[in-house]
Amino acid sequence: MIRLEIKSDFKDAESLIRSAVHSEIKRLEIGLGRTDREIRKFKDKYRISSGMFVREYAAEDLDGGDDEYVSWVGEIKIRRKIAGELGRLKETEYVTQQISA
């Protein structure tokens, strides 16, 4: 979990930071949706899960060869990264301390 301690003489600092984090969450959710759609295309085309693909398939097994293999593996890796970042940001805890100017 991320614990964000905010010390500021700006009254609305927490609100501003929450808004920025919320915007990043939305951006990541859009990216996750795009990545999921790309992965779904491969899963539908080959009628297998991404897990089975990673475990059992090689570039030679795909119609598009290396390009398609690299694309599918790349999308899987991107999805894992985005999902991890998204999870951490959604669990962010905010602690604010107002300091005098």
Across 1-6, average pLDDT? 89
Residue 45 clears pLDDT 70, i.e. is over it: yes
Cβ(46)–Cβ(62) below 8 Å: yes
Q: Regarding predicted confidence, which is higher, 33 or 4?
A: 33
pLDDT above 90 (res 38): yes
**What is the model's pLDDT at position 101?**
61
pLDDT at residue 100 is higher than 90: no
Please give the Cα distance from 42 to 20 (Å, whole number): 34
- The mean pLDDT value of the chain amounts to 93
- Name the burial class of residue 85, with classes exposed (0-12), middle (13-18) and buried (19+) by CB atoms within 10 angstroms of its CB: middle
Q: What is the pLDDT of residue 1?
A: 84
Residue range 60-83: mean pLDDT, rounded? 94
Question: Residue 11's pLDDT is what?
Answer: 85
